[in-house]
Amino acid sequence: MVKNLDERKSSILHAIIQEHIITASPVGSRTIAKKYDLGVSSATIRNEMADLEELGYLEQPHTSAGRIPSDKGYRYYVDILMNNKGINSDKLIKTLSEITKAKKGIHGIVSGITTMLSEFTKYATMITEPEFKNIKLSEVQLIKVTNNKLLLVMVTDNGFVSDKMINIQQDLDKRKIRYINNFLVNKITDKNINNLDKNYFDEIEDELIKKINLSQQLFNIINKEIKEINDPRDINIYIGGTSYILDQPEFNDIEYLKKVLNILDHEDTLKKLITAENNKEIEVRIGHENEMKEMQRCSVVIANYTIGDKAVGKIGVLGPTRMEYPRVISTVNIVSDILSKIISEVNK
């Protein structure tokens, strides 16, 4: 779809975008002629700019202003022009490994990395907690805590631990609990969690009730708990660096700023924003490529982080379309790699 531009147009477009990313203002032909050594005069650049505008790569806020890149222009920049040389990753990697050491648990790690990512990119960042699919239970333990309280602990084969306090009316002695526990281990571990549905529980419950006296309540709770292990709605999103948004002049418009912050405020819209295909390593959504119209003056860079080759979570950076793509993309790449490693490690 995107036709390649000839070399001179490319250089000029490249120069305009780089200049605009720095200054956040419309860029004029004279600036390009002076600052970038393209070997042609401002008049020539002027003609080329008119062409680039006609082709849709540039826009003119008004007749007597310079040009700014269009979404199409940025897209061309990201896909073709952009210098993909990474940032200096040493410091980033060092800082990340420090966080990982200091924090405990998935919550701590993910929230720490979210903050760190925003401090490195200077944009708002979002990271979802890892989500596990097609998993099996590897361990089930029913522990008596008090006379009418049981603790149910379930461990998935990728190391996720779920625990739930259960209040029981029925008085279950330790022997009975052990019996139920063994029964559960046989029936629900090592099976794909998706198959452990209401029907299956009804079945095995009948089976158990034939053998020992038991109120229904317990199995309902276990069933519900397993559903929740499997429920993507419960995935937390961490968000960091919202105050960096204000550094960008495109958000000086308070009304617009409010719309954007409002999206970040609500889990549902935030999840929609950070949606991306699982099989892509990194996805850059520029301006109107975003579904939500409030986001169409923004760009989002989203990467998956993985366990093995399965995507388990998303890393996102949100900024104006005039974003420093090369820096953000390489940072996001590094962070998603490291997070993949960390989560895989925790999961071992």
Rounded to an integer, what distance in angstroms lies between the CA atom of residue 206 and that of residue 345? 40
Angle at alpha carbon of residue 198, lines to 272 and 134, rounded to 5°: 50
Q: Does 135 contact its own copies by CB under 8 A?
A: no
User: Which of 48, 205 has the CB closer to DNA?
Assistant: 48
Closest by Cα among 204, 157, 162 to 180: 204
Query: Considering beta carbons, is residue 28 or 319 the nearer one to DNA?
Result: 28
Dist CA 268 CA 290 (whole Å): 15
x-or-dash pattern for its own copies, window 113-132, by CB under 8 A?
--x--x--------------
What does the angle CA 273 – CA 275 – CA 280 come to, to the nearest 5 degrees? Answer: 135
Residue of 275, 203, 267 lying closest to 239 (CA atoms): 267
Q: Choosing among DNA, its own copies, none, which partner's interface includes residue 181 (Cβ < 5 to 8 Å by kind)? A: none
The answer to whether 85 touches 95, Cβ cutoff 8 Å, is no
48-79 burial, b at 16+ Cβ within 10 Å, e below that, comes to bbeebeebebbbeeeeeebbbbbbbbbbbbbe
Considering only residues 16 to 75 of the shown chain, the ones binding DNA according to CB under 7 A are: 25-31, 39-44, 46-47, 49-50, 53, 60-67
Q: Based on CB atoms, which residue is closest to its own copies, 66 or 241?
A: 241
Which amino acid is present at 197?
D
**Contact letters (x/-) for its own copies, 210-239, by CB under 8 A?**
------------------x-----x-x---
Nearest approach in angstroms of CB 143 to its own copies is 6
81 versus 273: smaller Cβ distance to its own copies = 273
The 3-class secondary structure across 150-176, one letter per residue, is EEEEEEECCCCEEEEEEECCCCCCHHH
Taking CB under 8 A as the binding criterion, the range among 80-88, 104-112, 177-185, 307-315 that sits at the site for its own copies is 104-112
Q: Which residues would be at the binding site for its own copies (CB under 8 A)?
A: 104, 107-108, 111, 115, 118, 138-139, 141, 143, 145-146, 149, 151, 153, 155, 159, 161, 163, 165, 167, 228, 234, 236, 240-243, 246-247, 252, 254, 257-258, 261-262, 264-267, 346, 348
Q: Which residues would be at the binding site for DNA (CB under 7 A)?
A: 25-31, 39-44, 46-47, 49-50, 53, 60-67
